[in-house]
Structure formats: structure tokens, C-alpha cells
């Protein structure tokens, strides 16, 4: 058969990839050969894993594993439909009721991911005549949700309360609804959103207050209840988003709020309406995870103990772990700021060769000139593993000139 020859219409993508290669920021995916754990095997190499969001080690917890297997045996592997058609199983409802009780709110809805929860919620509750006042470093899923809503977006400088107030005041007399939105924990710097002050602003200007607690779920607050609990601003945040994909160890995102907010999202949130619900095994896993948060608080204590040790030792070695040119981390997310994108990727590659997985993060995920290695320690890293990782970081850091000798 004769094929007609024509120019490849996607050749511009190859050109852009060549640009990335020239800049040194092109990457290949690292592939995990075994379980997501503190020490595991990527691309055939055993490494100390400083890159996952598996804060509490729940990805391999025996109770969660057993819950997933049991649910698969009883209910099969898939839900077969979107929630509003035939894909709402009893186990989905059970998980939502469990989360609502845990967070002490009226109701909860679970989405396929945290990304879907944010994008689906922001785009559903606001329209083109409304305003979104959003922290400059908020997560991509909030930004995409804001775009989909067609509301006017007013960005305020990172954690700058005065600037947030200026933005709210500028639309005070406009008829549209206002949403004030922040990440609970910022995913690239590890600092915590200023919830009490933002809640005060939302109250003063009659705005809806929304928090994305993806990196705070299972990490901050009593038993990992999140930033609302951490700051004791119960009842002052209208929309709380959390993830089931990080500390909870499985997959999903959830929205907590009033019964009517959740009922409205059932009717208008597009990922809920147009994308199939979780397999029963995922819901069962998450139910078991919330039991573990209640029953094994020592996991969170160990996470914070490791975090304090890690930050102290990295700073002693002379690494810039934020606070100089970037916000100061207050959580287990500890960036090592390098600045240059290529140097960052080189550092990451050299670390991997010596048995450390620590991902380099460059523009556009972080601003140009703020490239970094992002490290996350978990509750399951032993002190010996952390010490070994520090030894490698120091050696490689000196060799390529990131820290002095
Ligand atoms: C990871 C993350 C999300 C997305 O959660 P997933 O469940 O992985 O889709 C949303 N917001 C923030 C701040 C995140 O860090």
C-alpha cells in the first residue's frame, strides 16, 4: 500500500524537546521495580527514597493491603460507571461518611484525585461574573479550576495578607461572588498557608474560604486532620480539600463542607459527573487508612521527629533549605535550593548514581532561577538511612560545588 508522504504535523513537539535537552532539563521517567517504600529499587538500582509523598509509609501497610484485597474479592475490581449513573457503591458512601466524621464537617465527597477535587470544585461553584483571590504559589489544579470557571483571577503575592486584602477590596463593590483560596501546605517550598489571617479576610469581605490540604492531610493537625485543625480555625473554612494520594497512601481527593455544598457538587462538578468512580479496593484502602491515623499516632510523631532531624542536619552541612531566597519550610517537604536548572538536574543524577532518589524540580514547576532538589522524609526512614543519605548529599554536594568543603 502506498502511503502519502507529508510533513509530520507534530514536529514542533520534537523541536521543543530538543530545547529541553539543550538546557539540560529534559528527563526520563524513573521506574520503580518494587514497592513504594523508604528504600526501594528504581531502574534496577536500590536507593534511599527521598522523593515520595508516602509520608506515613501507608502504601505498604498490611491493614490497607488486606482491605484492598478483601474488597476486590467481595466487590470486584471496578465500579462500572460514574457516580451519578450506577457507580456509587456502598463502600464509596462509607468512606465519605468516615472522612466527614474525621474532619468534623457535615458532609464529604470523594473525587478520583486531588487534582479532580480542586479543579472540579472551583469550576463548579464559580462562574464568569465571580472573582478568585488566589495565592501566587497555589497548586496547578486550583489554577486550572479557576480557568475553567471563567471567573476573574486576582493573584496575591505568596502569603502576603495585605496584598490579599488589597485584591479583595478592589472588587468589594462588584456584584460577583468572591473565593479566597490557598494551599494548606505549599508543595514546592513546604511552608504553611496563613489560615487564621486569611479566614479573617474572608469574613471581613464576605468571601468563600477554601483550603487545599493535599500535603497537610495525614501530616498536620490532630491525627493528621489538616491545617484547619492545626490552626484551630474550625467552622471558618467553607471548602476543605484533601488528598488520599499522599499520606493516605492510595489515590483520590475529597471535598469537605456543608451538606448543600456536597449535594451541589454531586450535580455540577464535572469530574464527578463525567468520570468513573474509584474501584472498591481504593475506597476500602482509604477507609483502613483513616483507622490507622486514629490507631497509630506514633507514625505522625515519627514523621515529625525525622523531619526535625533532617532539616537540622541539612542546614549544618551548609545547604540552602529555604528561607534565604525562598519561603522557609515548616513541614516534611524540605527543598534544597540550587538555583540553576541544569546544575540541579546534574545533582539529582549524581545522587541517584550514589543511591539516593531526590528529584530535581525546575521551571515551570518552580520559578526560573529557583530550581531545587525536593526532599521528603517519611515516618518509615530509619535514622541510619537518613544518616547515610546525608553522607551522600554532603559528598556529592561538595564535589559539584553546591556546598563548600
Ligand atoms: C498533589 C497535590 C494535589 C493533587 O492531588 P492528587 O491526589 O495527587 O491528584 C493538589 N494540590 C496540592 C497542593 C498538591 O500538592
Q: Are 213 and 242 in contact (CB under 8 A)?
A: yes
Q: What is the pLDDT of residue 288?
A: 98
Summarize the confidence of residues 332-336 as an average pLDDT.
Answer: 97
DSSP 323: S
Alpha-carbon span 146 to 127, nearest angstrom: 9
Looking at the DSSP bridge assignments, the partners of residue 47 are 40
Enumerate the active-site residues.
187, 215, 246
pLDDT of residue 324: 77
**Structure confidence by residue, pLDDT tens digits, 279-330:** 999 999 999 999 999 999 999 999 999 999 999 999 999 999 988 778 899 9
Q: What share of the chain is helix, strand, coil (3-state, %, to 5)?
A: 45, 15, 40
Q: Cα–Cα distance between 148 and 154 in angstroms, integer?
A: 15
CATH level 3 topology of 24-55+297-399: 3.90.1150
With a 6 Å cutoff on the Cβ, whether 226 touches ligand 1 is: no
Q: What is the pLDDT of residue 2?
A: 58
| Interval 370-388: pLDDT, tens | 999 999 999 999 999 999 9
Residues 6 or more apart in contact with residue 5 via CB below 8 angstroms: none
Q: What pLDDT score was predicted for residue 24?
A: 79
pLDDT for 361: 92
CA 185/CA 230 separation, integer angstroms: 11
Is residue 254 a contact partner of residue 212, using CB atoms and an 8 Å limit? no
Query: What confidence tens digit (pLDDT) does each residue in 134-182 have?
Result: 999 999 999 999 999 999 999 999 999 999 999 999 999 999 999 999 9
Q: Give the residue, out of 212, 241, 366, with the most ligand 1 atoms within 8 A of its beta carbon, to mutate for a pocket test.
A: 212
| 2 Cβ contact partners less than 8 Å away, ≥ 6 residues apart | none
Which part of the chain has CATH 3.40.640.10? Answer: 60-295
Q: Residue 1 has what pLDDT?
A: 58
Residue 360 Cβ inside 6 Å of ligand 1? The answer reads no
Task: Say what the pLDDT of residue 5 is.
Answer: 78
287: Cβ contacts below 8 Å, ≥ 6 apart: 67, 91, 94, 95, 98
Q: What percent of the chain stands above pLDDT 70?
A: 99
Mean pLDDT, the chain, rounded, equals 96
Q: From 381, 372, 291, 309, select the one nearest 39 (Cα to Cα).
A: 381
Could you tell me if 113 and 251 are in contact, meaning their C-beta atoms sit under 8 angstroms apart? yes
Q: What is the pLDDT of residues 8-50, one digit of tens each?
A: 999 999 999 999 999 877 888 999 999 999 999 999 999 999 9
What pLDDT sits at residue 299? 98
> In the CATH scheme, what is the code of domain 60-295?
3.40.640.10
pLDDT in the model for residue 323: 81
Q: Would you state the cell numbers that stand for residue 350, as one nine-digit string?
A: 549524581
115: CA distance to ligand 1 center in Å? 5
Which residues 6+ apart lie within 8 Å of 285 measured at CB? 64, 67, 68, 71, 249, 250
Ligand 1 center to 173 CA (angstroms): 33
Of 122, 188, 227, 246, the residue with max ligand 1 atoms within 8 A of its CB, to mutate for a pocket test, comes to 246
Helices (H), 126-246: 140-149, 161-170, 195-205, 227-230
Residues 6+ apart with CB under 8 A from 220: 184, 185, 192, 213, 226, 227, 229, 230, 331
| Residue 273 scores a pLDDT above 70 | yes
Judged by DSSP in three states, 376 sits in strand
- Pocket flag, ligand 1, residue 112 (CB < 6 Å): no
pLDDT value of residue 367: 87
Is the minimum distance from the CB of 211 to ligand 1 under 6 angstroms?
Answer: no
pLDDT over 90 (residue 197): yes
Return residue ranges of the chain for CATH 3.90.1150.10: 24-55+297-399
Q: Starting at the earlier edge strand, list the strands of the sheet with 178-183.
A: 107-111, 253-257, 239-243, 208-212, 178-183, 131-135, 152-156
Quickly state the pLDDT bin for 357 (edges 50, 70, 90). Answer: very high
pLDDT at 22: 92
Residue 266 reports pLDDT greater than 90: yes
- Residues 271 and 214: their CA atoms lie apart, in Å, by 18
∠ Cα 370 373 375 (to 5°) = 130
Residues 85-140: tens digit of each pLDDT:
999 999 999 999 999 999 999 999 999 999 999 999 999 999 999 999 999 999 99
Task: Choose one of 54, 214, 218, 365 to mutate for the ligand 1 pocket test, by most ligand atoms within 8 angstroms of C-beta.
Answer: 214
Rg (CA), the chain: 22
Give the pLDDT of residue 364: 85
pLDDT > 80? residue 3: no
Amino acid at each position: 500500500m502506498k502511503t502519502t508522504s507529508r510533513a509530520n504535523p507534530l514536529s514542533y513537539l520534537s523541536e521543543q524537546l530538543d530545547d529541553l535537552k539543550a538546557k539540560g532539563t529534559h528527563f526520563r521517567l524513573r521506574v520503580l521495580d518494587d514497592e513504594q517504600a523508604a528504600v526501594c529499587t528504581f531502574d534496577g538500582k536500590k536507593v534511599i527514597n527521598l522523593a515520595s509523598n508516602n509520608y506515613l509509609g501507608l502504601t505498604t501497610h498490611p491493614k490497607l493491603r488486606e482491605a484492598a484485597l478483601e474488597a476486590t474479592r467481595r466487590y470486584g475490581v471496578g465500579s462500572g460507571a460514574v457516580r451519578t449513573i450506577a457507580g456509587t457503591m456502598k463502600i464509596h458512601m462509607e468512606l465519605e461518611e468516615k472522612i466527614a466524621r474525621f474532619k468534623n464537617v457535615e458532609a464529604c465527597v470523594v473525587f478520583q484525585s486531588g487534582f479532580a477535587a480542586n479543579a472540579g470544585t472551583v469550576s463548579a461553584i464559580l462562574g464568569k461574573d465571580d472573582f478568585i483571590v488566589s495565592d501566587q504559589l497555589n497548586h496547578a489544579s486550583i489554577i486550572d479550576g479557576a480557568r475553567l470557571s471563567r471567573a476573574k483571577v486576582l493573584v496575591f503575592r505568596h502569603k502576603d495578607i495585605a496584598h490579599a486584602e488589597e485584591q479583595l477590596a478592589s472588587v468589594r463593590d462588584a456584584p460577583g461572588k468572591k473565593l479566597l483560596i490557598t494551599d494548606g501546605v505549599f508543595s514546592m517550598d513546604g511552608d504553611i498557608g496563613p489560615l487564621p489571617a486569611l479566614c479573617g479576610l474572608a469574613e471581613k469581605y464576605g468571601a468563600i474560604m477554601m483550603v487545599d490540604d493535599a500535603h497537610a492531610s495525614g501530616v498536620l493537625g490532630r491525627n493528621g486532620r489538616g491545617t484547619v485543625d492545626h490552626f484551630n480555625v474550625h467552622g471558618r473554612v467553607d471548602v476543605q480539600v484533601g488528598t488520599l494520594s499522599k499520606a493516605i497512601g492510595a489515590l483520590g481527593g475529597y471535598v469537605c463542607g456543608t451538606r448543600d455544598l456536597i449535594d451541589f457538587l454531586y450535580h455540577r462538578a464535572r469530574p464527578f459527573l463525567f468520570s468513573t468512580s474509584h474501584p472498591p479496593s481504593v475506597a476500602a484502602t482509604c477507609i483502613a487508612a483513616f483507622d490507622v491515623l486514629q490507631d497509630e499516632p506514633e507514625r505522625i510523631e515519627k514523621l515529625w521527629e525525622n523531619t526535625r532531624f533532617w532539616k537540622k542536619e541539612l542546614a549544618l552541612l551548609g545547604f540552602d533549605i529555604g528561607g534565604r531566597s525562598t519561603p522557609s519550610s515548616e513541614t516534611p517537604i524540605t527543598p534544597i535550593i540550587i538555583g540553576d536548572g541544569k546544575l540541579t538536574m546534574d545533582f539529582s543524577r549524581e545522587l541517584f548514581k550514589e543511591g539516593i532518589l531526590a528529584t530535581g524540580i525546575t521551571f515551570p514547576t518552580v520559578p526560573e532561577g529557583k530550581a531545587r532538589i525536593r526532599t521528603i522524609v517519611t515516618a518509615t526512614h530509619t535514622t541510619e538511612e537518613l544518616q547515610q543519605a546525608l553522607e551522600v548529599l554532603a559528598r556529592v554536594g561538595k564535589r559539584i560545588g553546591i556546598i563548600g568543603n
